[in-house]
Chain A
Amino acid sequence: MPATPRNRTAGADLFRPVNVGRASEDVVRQIKDAIHAGKLRPGDGLPSERELTGRLGVSRVTVRDALRTLEATGLVEIRVGARGGAFVTAPEPDYVGEGLANMLLLSSSSPEDVTEARMIFELGAIPLVCERRTKEDLADLEEICTRSEAALKSGEHDVRLSAEFHIRLAASTHNTAVALIVDSFQGPLLMSLARAKDVAPRMGKQGAREHRELVEAIRKRDAGKAHDLMERHLGRTAARLHASGSAGGDVAE
């Protein structure tokens, strides 16, 4: 039955904005799936906007929106000019760390909790490092220790050297995933440093000494000793941060 015409214009409140986001999310998903499946590798060019529009059956605005989202997360680079277009890029080194930092900092995790999460991976790495470390690993770790000690002697305590030590140690697992995860924990730690540095300097010397002891235990493949050293080393950081009321951990150990 036809509706009786009513001389009335529907109020704007009758309509809700259409979710244009969903179509673009779907395009993002499809491109990411292709990356995850190895069908698209860093350096590969994506089809043109026009081609994607036709193939995916969506508007050009939707495609552009999707590409912008991928660009925002650092998976796609948009180049302009004659040889321009959208290209798959390898994410920045801090890609995972940034995500971790954002999640933990914005959810106000306590420094103790964050350090404990970090310790899962750094302590778990120890047996692997003791089993697999090469001469080159040991030499690199010692070299970082030497630079840290020199920096301390000249009155500068560079916390980046401490982060470098922990990252190099994790790389000695010869497991890309473990190394990547340990590495990603250095991000939130660095950022909270500003808040913890007032208590950091006196810890520099002890931290540097403990790094040396760690290298020695690893050289002897003494996983038990290395484990205890690392536990004490990282545990102290959490206690210090707790005292200073900072959040997110610290690399000044």
Chain B
Amino acid sequence: MTEGTFLTPVAGGRASQQIVDQIVGLLRSGRLEAGDRLPSERQLAEAFGVSRVTVRDAIRVLQARGLMEVKVGVSGGAFVTAPSADVLGERLSDVLTMSTITPEEVAEARLVMELGILDLALDRATEEDLAALRSICQRAEAVVADGRYDPQLANDFHARLAAASQNWAVTQVAESFRGPLRMAALRSREPADDAHHRTVEDHRAVLEALEQGNRADARAAMVRHLTRGTSLKPPES
């Protein structure tokens, strides 16, 4: 970004908020893009006609929203970044936890998402995707056979399935929402041992149907997996 060219001095009110709004506007319109470096604090202060403290305040707000990354050192400065999946997931968590939502509703939303992803994966999964899913299932089965459990592998299974959509936006959205739509509240109703065994079995069943390109079986396996321990009736489609 060339310094100061499309920045206008701010007047009155909460100056740092106005700076945030201007910068967000530039991001939205594509005039500032991920990787761009902002002018120095001093230059920004001049361009906006505010103090450096105000500029610093605005940058901190942008950082908190995951839009800006501040690097220190010689080649440092404030850089535009695309917010990570975590930033979005955190927001959904914030809202869901402040509302009066039931674990069943959460499970149902998760089911909607995973069935949509599964449909895309059934159309598009490559040999490489299937090999990666097989490897994840094998590792998870070995861990469970050993009397242990690795929740990361369960997460990896769903992440890899989302990637098989070959759609980056879908993969990112799934990455963001999987956390807030986690099944932990429901799984904790089952004895841990059972839950772990059944999760790896469920994943394997989804994978086998996916390998055979059997949409009905794959969907049924996913529905079984995600409605387990709930009073949910699978939606008809």
Contact = CB atoms under 8 A, between A and B. Distances in A.
A121 B113 contact: yes
Contacts of B90: 32
B95 interface: yes
B65 A121 contact: no
Interface stretch (B39-47, B132-140, B165-173, B199-207): B165-173
B215 interface: no
A193 to B, nearest CB: 12
B172 A104 contact: yes
A124 B91 contact: no
Contacts of B224: none
B88 A106 contact: no
Contacts of B154: none
B112 A120 contact: yes
Interface in B61-116: 61, 63-67, 72, 80-85, 87-88, 90-101, 105-106, 108-109, 111-113, 115-116
A217 interface: no
A57 interface: no
A101 B176 CA distance: 13
Most buried by B among A69, A110, A124: A124
Contacts of B98: 35, 41-42, 90-91
Most buried by A among B112, B117, B237: B112
Given A16-B72, A35-B94, A106-B83, A73 B116 contact: no
B82 A106 contact: yes
A124 B109 CA distance: 9
A68 B14 CA distance: 13
Contacts of A99: 65-66, 83, 87-88, 91-92, 176
Contacts of A251: none
B189 interface: no
A238 to B, nearest CB: 11
Contacts of B96: 176-177, 180
Interface in A44-97: 65, 68-70, 72-73, 75, 90-91, 95-96
A105 interface: yes
B169 A117 contact: yes
A106 B33 contact: yes
Nearest to B89: A99
Interface string A148-183: 000000000000000000000000000111101100
A96 B88 contact: yes
Given A65-B60, A68-B57, A124 B83 contact: no
B106 A123 contact: no
Contacts of A96: 88, 91-92, 95
A78 to B, nearest CB: 11
A206 interface: no
Given A91-B94, A128-B235, 6 more contacts: A103-B83, A103-B87, A107-B34, A113-B167, A120-B113, A184-B92
28 contacts: A32-B90, A36-B93, A42-B98, A65-B60, A68-B64, A69-B63, A75-B94, A90-B98, A96-B92, A99-B176, A100-B88, A102-B83, A103-B82, A103-B85, A103-B176, A105-B27, A106-B81, A113-B169, A113-B170, A120-B112, A121-B116, A124-B111, A124-B113, A124-B235, A127-B236, A176-B99, A178-B108, A184-B92
10 closest A-B pairs by CB: A120-B116, A124-B112, A177-B109, A127-B235, A106-B82, A72-B64, A113-B169, A72-B61, A99-B88, A109-B169
Interface of A: 16-17, 32, 35-38, 41-42, 65, 68-70, 72-73, 75, 90-91, 95-96, 98-110, 113-114, 116-117, 119-121, 123-128, 131, 175-178, 180-181, 184, 191, 223, 227
